[in-house]
Amino acid sequence: MEEMNKVTQYKKSGLIWKIFVAAFVVILGFIAYKFLVPKEEKNEFTYVSEPLKKGSLTVSVSATGNIQPVEQVNVGSEVSGTIEKVFVDYNDVVKKGQLLAQIDRTKYESSLKKAQASLASANANLQNMQAGLYKAESIISRDKMLRESTNGALPSKNDWDNDYASYMMAKAQISSAKAQIEQAEQGLISAQYDLQKTNIYSPVDGTILVKSVDAGQTVAASFQTPTLFSIAKDLTKMQLQATIDEADIAKVKKDQNVSFNVDAYPHTEFKTSISQVRVNSAIVDGVVTYLAIMDYDNSKLLLRPGMSADIDIATQTIPNTFLVSKAALLFIPVKPKPKGLFSSKAKEDVKIDPKPHIWILQNNQPKKIYVKILGNNGATSAISSAEIKEGDKVIITQEKHQ
């Protein structure tokens, strides 16, 4: 009996040990499965897509520029002096021939009187020379008569030579006196011109844009004509002058459509077209640019001279093409890393494909499609490919689950 109890107790102990070992193996396997074996997990990301659509894309060149009047005249002074009076101010509307300002006339009136006196003196000198010529001519006439009556005995050769020399000198003095008169007349004309130029008149009908002088200011016109006023001939006709980068100038042509905005009217888009692309270039800080000119009908007088503008020039229109956002062409799918103890050794392999392509979402998985880029306009691109169709889900980004 006692032996039977020992045997039974031994068998129970062995069973318990087997159960313990089996449980340990199960637990060890669970741990190995849980932590050592990488498992396929649910996708950590959600793909954000947009349906592929067709439409027309206008390719444009962006530029900056300024608004200027079509005709602007700078009015200066040809004479120096002190500004005595100014009769106009900024924004005044003036007529052709209207008096704008007046330079002090004292010096020029004095010069005119001096020129008049010089002319009078030259005329008096001519009369004096004419009297001398008359006397010399009379002496020569008398000598000729005396020579005939005396058969050449009188006057003596010496007297004849002296009288004839006096006659020729008198004739020369007449020519000199006439030249002095002409010189004095030109001096008078110059003095009259200078006096007239002390009055500054408007050469055109227009609006005063710039007034550079005030009464009492000195104007020096010795080496160049100083600008006193700038007049816009017609503010209803404005001109947009755009600076085009040399990289874009080959795309810009006459008659291309243009849209532009100015800061004064941020929600208004102005429309015009290119009227001229100038051949001459400008180099500023090493940057080469060309000037494109656009005329604009400013009948509503919204635009003012000097306003800066952001300009878009439509250089090409691509009709009936697939349109995608630029983000779709830049998208690179990110693959999730496997989890587990060995996940730290896994490296994310991201390769940049230089060929243009997009990713289409098929069966909730991204599929690469190579495309041809037909043109770009800001954030939108025109593409083509035989593997795409309208309605395809084009991936533009992916978002990680929180």
SS3 labels along 131-142: HHHHHHHHHHHH
Kindly write down the DSSP assignment for every residue of 140-169, as one continuous string: HHHHHHHHHHTTT-SS-HHHHHHHHHHHHH
pLDDT score of 151: 85
Cis amide prior to 333 (ω within 30 degrees): no
Q: Cβ of 127: how many Cβ atoms within 10 Å?
A: 10
pLDDT over 80 (residue 343): no
Q: Give the up-direction half-sphere exposure of residue 115: CA atoms within 13 A in the CB hemisphere.
A: 20
pLDDT score of 221: 80
What tokens were used for 85? 């009076």
Residue 26's pLDDT band (cuts 50, 70, 90): low
Amino acid at 192: Q
- What number is the average pLDDT over the span 238-256? 95
DSSP helix/strand/coil, 319: strand
What tokens were used for 269? 């888009």
pLDDT score of 342: 47
pLDDT score of 20: 61
Kindly write down the DSSP assignment for every residue of 69-116, as one continuous string: ESSEEEEE-SS-EEEEEE---TT-EE-TT-EEEEE--HHHHHHHHHHH
Specify whether the backbone of 42 is left (phi greater than 0), alpha (psi in -120 to 50) or beta: beta
Euclidean distance between CA atoms 396 and 402, whole angstroms? 19
The pTM of the full predicted model, rounded to 2 decimals, is: 0.63
- Give how far Cα 374 sits from Cα of 252, 324, 394, Å: 18, 11, 17
Residue 344's pLDDT band (cuts 50, 70, 90): very low
Residue 205's pLDDT band (cuts 50, 70, 90): very high
Share of the chain above pLDDT 90, in %: 67
Residue 381's pLDDT band (cuts 50, 70, 90): very high
Amino acid at 368: K
pLDDT over 50 (residue 341): no
Amino acid at 359: W
| 161 in Cβ contact with 143 (< 8 Å) | no
| 95 in Cβ contact with 204 (< 8 Å) | no
- What number is the average pLDDT over the span 331-335? 82
pLDDT over 50 (residue 7): no
User: What's the mean pLDDT when you consider all of the chain?
Assistant: 87
What tokens were used for 383? 């593409």
- What number is the average pLDDT over the span 124-140? 91
The two most distant CA atoms of the chain are separated, in Å, by 211
| 221 in Cβ contact with 76 (< 8 Å) | yes
